Amino acid sequence: MDRKEIAAREAVKYVEDGMVVGLGSGSTATIAIKLIGQKISEEGIDIVGIPTSTASDLLGRAVGIRIGELDEHREVDITIDGADEVDPRLNLVKGLGGALVWEKIVAASTRVEMIVVDDTKMVEFLCQKAPLPVEIVRYSHKTTARRLEVLDCEATLRLDSDGNAFVTDNGNHIVDCRFDGIDDPRSMESEINAIPGVVENGLFIGLASKVIVASNDGIRIFERAMLEL
Residue 106, amino acid: V
3-state SS, residue 161: coil
3-state SS, residue 79: strand
DSSP structure class, residue 76:
E
- At residue 129's C-alpha, the angle toward residues 201 and 161, to 5°, is 70
- At residue 56's C-alpha, the angle toward residues 94 and 171, to 5°, is 70
42 is catalytic: no
3-state SS, residue 117: strand
Q: Per the residue annotation, which of 5, 72, 75, 103 is the catalytic one?
A: 103
Which whole-number Å values give the CA distances from 20 to 23, 43, 50, 59, 79, in the listed order? 10, 17, 7, 17, 9
Q: Which residues are the active-site residues?
A: 103
